Amino acid sequence: MYLSIVTLEEKCFHVTSSTRGFYINDSTEEVFDPTPSLPKSMHHSLIDLLSFVSPLFKRFDVKDHYKDLGGDAAAFVAPCNDLQGVKAYCAVDIEGLHTLGTVVVDYRGYRVTAQSIIPGILEREQEQSVIYGSVDFGKTVVAHEKYLELLSKAAQSLKILPHRVLNEKDEIVEICSSVECKGIIGNDGRLLRTFPPDVNFLPGCLPESEYSKEVRELGFPRKHRHKLASLRQELVDAFFEARYTMFFKLAYLQLGQNKKKIQNEEKSGLVSNGNASFQNGIPEVQESVKELSKSSLKSEETKDVVRKAAQAVGSLKDNEFDLRFDVDVFSESVRNAESEEELQRQRLLIRDAFRTR
């Protein structure tokens, strides 16, 4: 394999990849010559070669960027978090929103993130810049109208709450993802920590009283090697479904309609007491609540029942079920511009999610 590489110093090198290793060859833009330019300069890995020819490359080593989050351990886990985020956005499949082909490679102690090239990024005369998100952990944060439009659609599916943060100029910026989510517009016009943090591994984020006795006996909250631990998408989805079922159950039971039917169902095992969810009949319950909700303008009782059920499950809206997470609410580097009341509600919601582990 033959590679043409432009370094951060804007120098062009032609590289031969062989069974013996990687080396600079004598090719130019006009002439192909795979013979070694420096016969004795053979490198076992491409990273070694790039570090040899480019001092700047040896330095975008990003472990120092994560010193406040766990240093090497955080730098090692961050690419996997990025990959999970790319997979999540790709699965949502929002028209007009594109992700880069991404792969994380582990090789002999190195972890490398390889991504497909953004159209136009290698054209030196065309300036490319991040127009959404942050590249310095929240110091500078920018947002783009087109990105907000597209990411707000994705945020609904990914259970992410649009929120406001402050940049270093104390300007309020609205974003629909974590600040680490970066957006670039390529010259073809295309656009490019997605999940809530796991507070079990972030001591000091919540009062110890917020952790159950069982959790504390297991040694949580437990200091981890890094501060990038996050809840898996499967858990977020399971928590959403559990709260969704709870919302309709609470609304249905509070409405108190057809008490005889409920009692009969309890005897037959269709509905159980306590916090257990309906085994059968949820679609019917949903339709009952939805039909009653439509008449909320005429029925203050129904409106109040739905409001109480929504508050009980942490819904963002009083008149319907809407559950999403502020994924930056526990980030030490992000200055959140939301009210303290809203931040507290989001902290409690994430607390309830990690309790379901």
Q: What is the 3-state secondary structure (H, E, C) of 293-311?
A: HHCCCCCHHHHHHHHHHHH
Query: Which residues are registered as beta bridge partners of 21?
Result: 18
Residue 63 carries which DSSP code?
G
Q: Which of 227, 251, 284 is the last residue of a domain?
A: 227
Output 315-319 pairs: Cβ under 8 A, ≥24 positions apart. Answer: 315/247, 316/161, 319/293
- Residues 220 and 237 reside in one and the same domain: no
Is 304 contained in some domain?
yes
- Residue 264, both tokens: 């009969």
176 and 77 in a single domain? The answer is: yes
pLDDT, mean over the chain: 78
| Same domain, yes or no: 193 and 295 | no
Single-letter code of the amino acid located at 142: V
What does each C-alpha distance from 330 to 68, 94, 147, 356 come to in angstroms? 14, 28, 24, 18
In terms of pLDDT, which residue wins out, 180 or 272?
180
Give the 3-state secondary structure of residue 252.
helix
175 membership: H or E segment, kind and range: strand 172-175
Angle (nearest 5°) at CA 110 between 105 and 116: 35
Same domain, residue pair 132 and 240: no
Q: What's the pTM value of the predicted model, to 2 decimals?
A: 0.55
d(CA 22, CA 43): 5
Across the range 41-62, mean pLDDT stands at 81
pLDDT of residue 265: 56
Residues 50 and 182 both lie in one domain: no
Domain co-membership, 119 together with 29: no
Do 96 and 155 belong to one domain? yes
What pLDDT, on a 0 to 100 scale, did the predictor assign at position 126?
42
pLDDT at 356: 55
Q: How many CB atoms lie within 10 A of CB 311?
A: 12
pLDDT number for residue 267: 58
Residues 254-297 have pLDDT tens digits of 776 534 454 555 555 544 443 334 444 455 556 655 554 454 43
Q: Which helix (H) or strand (E) holds 102?
A: strand 102-107
Find tokens 């690419």 and name the residue: 79
Sign of CA dihedral 157, 159, 160, 163: positive
pLDDT score recorded for residue 8: 82
Does some domain include residue 348?
Answer: no
Q: Give the C-alpha separation, 227 to 269, whole Å.
A: 44
Sheet containing strand 335-336, edge to edge, reads 172-175, 163-166, 335-336
Asked if pLDDT for residue 155 goes beyond 60, the answer is: yes
Residue at 71 is within a domain: yes
Rounded Cα distance, 288 and 293, in Å: 9
Tell me whether residue 321 is in a domain. Answer: no
The confidence score (pLDDT) of residue 285 equals 56
CA atoms of 315 and 177, how far apart (whole Å): 19
Cα 351–196–114 angle (5° rounding)? 155
262 shares a domain with 145: no
> Which residues, including other chains, have CB under 8 Å from residue 341's CB and lie 6 or more apart?
none
Which residue, among 160, 154, 308, has the nearest Cα to 240 in the 3D structure? Answer: 160
Within-domain flag for 97:
yes
Are 88 and 198 members of one domain?
yes
Indicate if 172 and 259 belong to the same structural domain: no
Domain count, the chain: 3
Contacts of residue 120, defined as CB under 8 A and 6 or more positions apart, other chains included, come to 126, 128, 186, 187, 188
Residue 336 lies in a domain: no
**What domain range is 245 assigned to?**
233-312
Q: Are residues 146 and 266 in the same domain?
A: no
The alpha carbon dihedral of 320, 93, 95, 83 has a sign of: positive
State the average pLDDT over residues 334-345.
85
Are 199 and 229 in contact by the 8 Å Cβ rule? The answer is no
Domain boundary among 32, 60, 88: 60
Instruction: Specify whether the CB–CB gap between 86 and 99 falls below 8 A.
Output: yes
CB 154 within 8 A of CB 182: no
For residues 178-195, average pLDDT: 68
Q: What is the rounded average pLDDT of the residues 145-165?
A: 86
Given 60, 82, 103, the domain boundary residue is 60
- Do the domain assignments include residue 274? yes
* Same domain (yes/no): 33, 138: no
The first and second tokens of residue 355, run together, are 């309790």
Query: Exposed (0-12), middle (13-18) or buried (19+): which is 261, by Cβ within 10 Å?
Result: exposed
Please report whether residue 299 resides in a domain.
Answer: yes
Q: For the chain, how far is it from start to end, CA to CA, in angstroms?
A: 47
